[in-house]
Structure 1
Amino acid sequence: MSLAVLEAPAAPIRFAPRQTPEAMAPAASSKPRCSNCHLRELCLPSGMSSSDVMRLDGLDSLMFARRRMRSAQTLYHEGERFQFVYAVRSGTFKSSLTLADGREQVSSFHIAGELMGLDGVAQGNHASSATALEDAEVCAIPYAHLTELAAGSSGTQHLISRLMSREIVREQSLMMLLGSMNAEERLAAFLLNLSKRLKARGYSASEFHLRMTRAEIGSYLGMTLETVSRTFSAFQQQRLLEVDKRHIRILDPDALAGAFEIRVH
């Protein structure tokens, strides 16, 4: 399956001194602060002590910028040097890598409050590319400065370890989807997981608009485009979902989960 991915070249992120705010990302007129962000409970500071969050805010050198992205614009490319951890403030992203035959393999989807870029920690280069699926905004956090903060805080060291562990768990969940579930179970688990993540952010858990295409869902779940479309139709015929192009309404989440004995993580 070959996907056509439209990519607009991404301008480099600049971290400017306070006296030249115009050089900062256009979405920010002053230094962003974790302590007053509405996504604090879902994002990087989740699990940090108040004192650690204040230290994060107080580091003058930690000039992490807010960056606006256009739909189909690539934030970072596979193989690019790893410098930043990116926190999604708004919008949806996909992570993907290029297979040997040139096909795209989608490895994850990210929504507000989630982190991207940690795949670059091990080798110093990103193992995947991150592309915006709609107009979006991120905070770019220099990883080197995070490690400086961690050097003086056991709580922050633990936080970074948790972030790495979360990536491992996500990979294991994908392997479970691909290895132990049939097509209907994979798609049901995907929709229920997305529903749970949206609910945690204050959005409707039962009605939402998919920002990814069916081909991208298929790439992520190891299914063909035709199988994804056929499975959506089957769910609609069973009155588990209402589907209008990318708009999804889950009619009975318990029935959707129960029909396939799915436990949502």
Structure 2
Amino acid sequence: MTIEQNKNRRPAASGCAIHCHDCSMGTLCIPFTLNADELDQLDDIIERKKPIQKGEQIFKSGDPLKSLFAIRSGTIKSYTITEQGDEQITGFHLAGDVIGFDGIHAQLHQSFAQALETSMVCEIPFNILDELSGTMPKLRQQIMRLMSNEIMSDQEMILLLSKKNAEERLAAFISNLANRFGNRGFSPKEFRLTMTRGDIGNYLGLTVETISRLLGRFQKSGLIEVKGKYITIVDHQELNLLAGNSRIAR
């Protein structure tokens, strides 16, 4: 489908639709660096769907790659299923993140993407985006930056799991989550964990019991305060030192 065909088939946007010009996550997402005319062209191909409910899947492993998805709000987890049938979480994605790059090589998604809370996404048809990027160097460069960031995140996660102990892993996770919230204009000091402790443990290669024990230890040490799902960072500097300054973007 061409860009022009896509324009003709798109329904009118709903009154509550937020366009690229007005989106607060634009500096983190695909529109970053585009001028006004380029932004309008990108905006024309984006489909804005109804909210995705908690537990709903955006795509599944084996699905044909049709679109990339830019997260406007909420949290999405990506995961794979092992040969033993176990879930292995590979990332937590926040507003401003773009997901779906895993499907480009084989034109099939290699993982699952599931909402951890009510979320909003912008669906970007991949073939049309690819066509558009051929005429917009800045768009192509931004897509490459986003893909590069995903590769870096994977490399840093391998380092975290292979070289860090349990305390360092959890400290790095909390510290980087705080930084990611800060980059999005939210409080880097106080935030709610949208993922369960089981999810965190799965992602970090730790048990739920270990996660709970370490959160209690961090609280006793004056690094953080924990109230249910809410985290308050009391001493970010010491938390960073414990983390060893690891940077996992996802």
Structure 2 CA distance for partners of 1:120 and 1:93, relative to 1, 3 Å = same
- Alignment of 1:115 onto 2:115: no
CA contact (8 A) 2:156 2:246 kept: no
Match runs of 1:242-261 below 5 Å = 242-261=225-244
Structure 2 CA distance for partners of 1:45 and 1:158, relative to 1, 3 Å = same
Among candidates 3, 17, 21, match of residue 35 of structure 1:
21
Post-superposition offset of 1:247? 1.1
| Letter of the 2:70 counterpart | A
CA contact (8 A) 2:171 2:242 kept: no
CA contact (8 A) 1:67 1:139 kept: no
Among candidates 135, 159, 166, match of residue 118 of structure 2:
135
Post-superposition offset of 1:159? 1.9
Partner of 1:171: 154
Moved more, 242-251 or 156-165: 156-165
Post-superposition offset of 1:186? 0.5
Partner of 2:193: 210
Structure 2 CA distance for partners of 1:63 and 1:261, relative to 1, 3 Å = closer
Distance (whole Å) between structure 2 residues aligned to residue 81 and residue 49 of structure 1: 31
List 4+ stretches of structure 1 deviating above 6 A.
none
TM-score where L is the length of structure 2: 0.90
Partner of 1:96: 79
Structure 2 CA distance for partners of 1:182 and 1:101, relative to 1, 3 Å = same
Partner of 1:55: 41
Q: Structure 2: which 5+ runs fail to align? A: 1-5
TM-score where L is the length of structure 1: 0.85
Instruction: Give the number of aligned pairs.
Output: 243
Post-superposition offset of 1:56? 1.8
Structure with the bigger RCO (C-alpha within 8 Å, sep 6+) is 2
Q: Which has more helix, going by share of residues?
A: 2
Q: Structure 1: which 5+ runs fail to align? A: 1-13
Please report the RMSD computed on the Cα atoms of aligned residues, expressed in angstroms. 2.1
| Letter of the 1:100 counterpart | E
- Alignment of 1:82 onto 2:74: no
Partner of 2:166: 183
Structure 2 CA distance for partners of 1:75 and 1:45, relative to 1, 3 Å = same
